[in-house]
Amino acid sequence: MFESYQGITFGLAFIMAISVLNPTQFQLAPITMKKLFFTIATVLFAFQSLDAADKPNVLFIAVDDLRPELGCYGNLIVKTPNIDRIAARGIVFNKAYCQQAVCSPSRTAIMTGLRPDVTKVWDLNTHFRVAQPDCVTLPQHFKANGYHCAAINKIYHKGFEDGRSWSVPHWYSAGKSIDTDLIDHTKQIVTKHDVSVEEFMSPNAKTNKDAKPGPAFEVSRKSEVDLPDGAAAAEAIKRLSELKSKKEPFFLAVGFAKPHLPFVAPKKYWDLYDPNSIPVPTIDHLPGGSPTFAGHTNGELHNYPGVPKENPLPMEFAKTLRHGYYACVSYTDAQIGKVLDALDKEGLADNTVIVLWGDHGWQLGDHGLWHKHTNFELATRAPLLISVPKSKTAGMKCDAPVEFVDVYPTLAEVCGLPPAATKIDGTSLKNFLDDPTAPATDVAISQYPRRDTVTGTDLMGYSIRDSRWRAIFWRDRNGPNIIATELYDEQNDPTETVSVANKPEHKALMESFAKHLPPVGSAAVDTNALKAKKAKAADAKPAPSAVGTEDRAARFDRFDKEKKGKLNRTDYLATQSDATAASERFEKWDTNKDGYLSRDEFVTTGKK
């Protein structure tokens, strides 16, 4: 169809051009010539409209912190009938991996098709347009090719919106829409609307930037539409009704927050589960042979009031958290179902590509860890479902390792768009959509930054995953030195209980994986900028007092807002301007290595 339209269009355009450039060949009466031009213009416009209408729409569904605990991934306990509907319409990628297991780097990667070392987004503080001001994002590419592009709730990490990506301002259920200046991405343009909802029933006032407005979980008495994800679904339904009548195809991105902490869901979703039936981790400590910096101290979770400070968490509390996670998964699944119903009702389903992705996995106490922030399988592996209308392979699964950077070129290809206007790192997965059983052609690479507090070295951990193995190389960010390695046999040790990197029989395997490492210096730390930051912080410090011990005691009391007599790492870092230097101090002052600074440690050890 595209070819016939293009041929007719070219022919008409040719006639129009010749009639203008060589009018003696077209001795037509003026009125006839006018009619000819009018007819040609009308036909060209009609064919352009037909061509646009023939392009498929895209429904792009993002789910925060969703690990592959879904029916279509083989979990027999969780109830996700609506996500399973998408799976029945499309392909389930069993081994899909994010580029970095934390929100902003992962979302930036899927939206730009670029790896974190290219965007320089390794944290929650950096906008991708700082390092890549001219990159063309996934929705921006669709917009340039005639699509109406819109976003609802969290697509990019909140606070890092991108006006160039969307046809209309980015809508949030917190009562505002956000656009950004097309030249200066730091300039936000905020407009208010009348949908403003809050997830907690009785939110607390925030006392500092890290304070949470409520507990880590809540059985909500609110109606679904009065919660953020319910409001997002309602807005998506409204948009689909409006988009149906538009002449151009659409790219509608809808973000769902749950099952991100806090685990807040209406009671009926909690009631779906017997908490005793939800699986518990097989290992509650770091794998044997892994470096201590491979894990973390669960700081994000410990910031919520009422969460026990010890690690691992008490068994009953951990059971409730897992219950809450499952309830939130089913709550979000129900909201997705409402959007799918609207897609069907509006008659759009037969011409809409659906993509569902979780921005990364999540650890539910596995390895003694909660949330993401690691290179382990459960943190880096996330759901990826792609449904293409009238697919002959619908309902099948693909076991080849794939990456989030692959989504951009895949959507461009299946929607008939030209290649991206700027270079991207991903590879189209269309061959797997056509034949999900096709053999794997590449590895999946994830990464996570860490600091080796023993040597003071900034590291980047690169995780390289093929169909069986996961190899992790912890490399100096400013040089070639590999500080530590890990290797997990995902076939025979799927819960990653022990690293076998140091076994002699795996030497050649590790060498083969090392060939996939990016060039040395790809994740380099700007040491000059870091030194300047430390110097600035040092200059801002007051001169030492003769009564230093008394001053440190008073300072500890000021930091210890809950008056517990100790500070965890997260609490302490929240009070410091230089997180890197503060982390080093914490390790040094925590003399008994219990993960806390007591008042005595802070006053006495910190004085030295």
Contact criterion met (CB below 8 Å) for 278 and 75: no
CA distance 388 to 55: 12
Under 8 Å CB-to-CB from 7, ≥6 apart: which residues?
Answer: none
Contact criterion met (CB below 8 Å) for 171 and 153: yes
Give the active site residue among 72, 98, 103, 135: 103
Q: How many CB atoms lie within 10 A of CB 85?
A: 20
**DSSP result, 176-214:** EEEEE-SS-TT-EEEEEEEEE--SSSSPPPPSSTT--SS
CA distance 173 to 194: 9
Cα torsion angle, 528, 522, 486, 595, sign: positive
What is residue 89's three-state secondary structure?
helix
Best CA proximity match to 476, nearest among 520, 530, 538: 520
Contact criterion met (CB below 8 Å) for 218 and 201: yes
CA distance 59 to 355: 6
Best CA proximity match to 387, nearest among 352, 418, 413, 359: 352
| C-alpha atoms less than 13 angstroms from C-alpha of 256 in its C-beta half-sphere | 34
- The reply to whether 415 belongs to the active site is no
Give the active site residue among 157, 296, 371, 506: 157
Backbone region of residue 301 per phi and psi (left: phi > 0; alpha: psi in -120 to 50; beta: other values): alpha
Structure tokens at 483: 């500080």
533, burial (CB in 10 Å: exposed 0-12, middle 13-18, buried 19+): middle
Helix segments in 346-440, DSSP class H: 377-380, 407-414, 430-434
- The reply to whether 193 belongs to the active site is no
Under 8 Å CB-to-CB from 199, ≥6 apart: which residues?
Answer: 214, 218, 220, 227, 228, 257, 262, 264
Contact criterion met (CB below 8 Å) for 478 and 526: no
Helix H or strand E encompassing 567: strand 566-568
Q: Which residues are the active-site residues? A: 103, 157
